Every structure is written in structure tokens, then in C-alpha cells.
Amino acid sequence: MAASSSPLPSNPSTPQMLTKRTTLQQEEEKKQEQCKKEGEKGEEELGFDHGAPPPFRLSDVRSAIPKHCWVKNPWKSLSYVVRDLVVVAAFMAMAAWFDSWVVWPFYWFAQGTMFWALFVLGHDCGHGSFSDNPKLNSVVGHLLHSSILVPYHGWRISHRTHHQNHGHVENDESWHPLSEKIYKNLDDSTKKLRFTLPFPLLAYPIYLWSRSPGKSGSHFHPDSDLFAPNERKDIITSTAYWCAMAALLVGLSFVMGPIQVLKLYGVPYAIFVMWLDLVTYLHHHGHEDKLPWYRGQEWSYLRGGLTTLDRDYGWINNVHHDIGTHVIHHLFPQIPHY
């Protein structure tokens, strides 16, 4: 069959057209790169204002979060509790079995880290992110927090105050800047204990008893300034649980000996306190870039929540339930850690 002598139809993908299109793409990329450089140069010249109101609303952030992130699975939450308790029991059994000064330092760090993990799960109960069942949250929260000498409701309520007022100089509950007047009125021992390492890493038990400088009340007393009158029963319940745990430790000291209790529980407890204070500090303080604090109408829940920091703890992220994702936690503490 003879070939047709009619001309071929025009093809947009001819070499000439491809070359032209490539040239246009290159020019567009050059323009974009130039705009990017000019934008970076302008930002360097003007500086980034950390204290400026964010160009979005809290609802904008909420709408960007996938729906499955809000789902609380009590069985999944309980599985983390079982996992951690099994590890704690295994560590304790192994340390008691070997009872060697080669093993004890490793045990103290590992068990102190696991105590910290238990605290984070109890913290989730306090936020209601553990489950949608308030009774389940309360029971699990009391068992976990009381086991590491934390008054569940007392701390839950003060921590709620912290979340509701984060970034507010006067109203934030913990780790807020002190005014010059309060600082000058501190005695020398308090200044040293609060601002000289390693003492601030052991501040948590003192905070539970007497709060931060400039604030009054206690996490154990039902009439403290921290609590509303209708929360008295909750505080009494948590203090009773705390006292029961303290009594158990005293009883074990008579049975096992105080040195053994110190090695199995006391030193890991101190490591846990260090973890808590260190992580809390890192999440609420910048270094090269100082985080802003607000007063009066300058403060808002969104602006305060955005002045927290995410931190990456490497392989420990999974151990302490991803507490390092702290910015979104401050904005929406109801989201489960997983």
C-alpha cells in the first residue's frame, strides 16, 4: 500500500517546542529563586518578630489536624500502661537478683526513666487524653501518679492552670520569669537552690509542697489557692493515695531494709524528678532564640501555646510516649500521645 503524500499533522511535542518549554521553565525557576533570595534577605534585614500575633487562628490549626488524631482508644492507652509496668517490674526483679554495684547505676537510670514514662501516662489521664471515661482516667491516674509520689488531682488541677495561662508572666503556674521585686526578696539559699545547677533539677517535690516563689499554697492541701471549693474532695482523695504510698514505702523499709528501698525506689525516684524538671524546662525555654512572655491583652491562649518548644529525645521518644511534641500538646492537650 502506497504511503500517503499528505503532510503530517502538527505535533506540540516537537523538539523545537520542547526546547522552548524548557527555556520558559528555566526562566521561571530563576525568577522563583530570585524571589526566595530577596525574601530571605528582607527577613534578615527586618528580623523575625517572635512577639507578633500569629497570622492564623486556633481554629485554623484545629481544622488542619486529621480526624483520627482525636480518637482516644482506651485499650491502646491501657496497653502502654501494661507495657511500662511490666518493664518496671522486670527491672526491679533483675536489680534485686544481681544486687551488684556494676548493675545498680544502669538500673537507676533505666528505672528512673521508666518512672518518668509512668508519670507521662498519668499526665495523659489528667488531660483526659487517656480515654473518654473520666472514672477510668481517675483510677489509672491515681495508681500511676501515686506510685511515684505525685498527688494526682492536685497536680492535674495546677497543670490545667499552667496550660490555660502558659506564656502569661503573672498567671502561668510554673517556670515563669520572676519579677525583680520577688527575686530581690528571695533569701540566698532559695536563690542558690532555684538558679544553680544541679539543684533546679530536683525542684519538683518542693514545688508540690510550696509552689513557685511568689505563689502560695500546696498541692496536698484542699484549701490551697490552687483549688476551687468544689475540688476539695478530689484533693483529699489524692492526698490520701499519696499518704498510702508513702506508708507502703516506710513499711517496706522495715521489711527489706531502708538501704534496699533506697536502691530500688529512692534513687530511681530522684532520676525521675530530674527527667521531669529537665524536660519541662527544655519545653518552655529557648536559648539562642528567647521565647516571649506576655501581659494583659497581649496574651492569648494561642500565643501562649506557641511559645513552647518541640524537642527530639532520639530513642527515648518512644519510651516516654513522645512528650517532645509539646507545641501541639499545649494547644490541644486532648489529643492522645500516640
Please name the residues in contact with 122: beta carbons below 8 A apart, sequence gap of 6 or more. 140, 141, 144, 145, 150, 152
pLDDT higher than threshold 60 for residue 303: yes
Residue 15 has pLDDT above 60, yes or no: no
- pLDDT tens for 166-180 read 999 888 887 778 788
Does residue 24 register a pLDDT over 80?
no
pLDDT in the model for residue 185: 84
Distance of CA 128 to the CA centre of its chain: 15
Distance from C-alpha of 317 to C-alpha of 286, rounded to nearest angstrom: 20
Write down the pLDDT at residue 23: 57
Measured CA to CA, the distance from residue 288 to residue 285 in angstroms comes to 10
Grid cell, residue 42, equals 528582607
DSSP per-residue letters across 232-289: HHHHHHHHHHHHHHHHHHHHHHHHH-HHHHIIIIIHHHHHHHHHHHHHHHHHH--SSS
* pLDDT > 90? residue 46: no
pLDDT tens string 115-147:
999 999 999 999 999 999 999 999 999 999 999
Cα-based distances in Å from 68 to 79, 188, 191, 213, 335: 19, 51, 46, 41, 10
Residue 39 has pLDDT above 80, yes or no: no
Q: Is the pLDDT of residue 192 over 90?
A: no
Q: What is the pLDDT of residue 89?
A: 98
Alpha carbon 165 to chain centroid, angstroms: 15
One-letter identity of residue 117: A
CA distance 54 to 306: 9
pLDDT digits 0-9 by tens, 194-224 = 778 888 888 899 899 988 777 788 999 999 9
Q: Would the pLDDT of 105 be above 50? A: yes
Output the pLDDT for position 305.
92
Output the average pLDDT for the chain.
Answer: 86
Q: Which pLDDT value is given to residue 270?
A: 97
Q: Grid coordinates representing 329?
A: 500538646
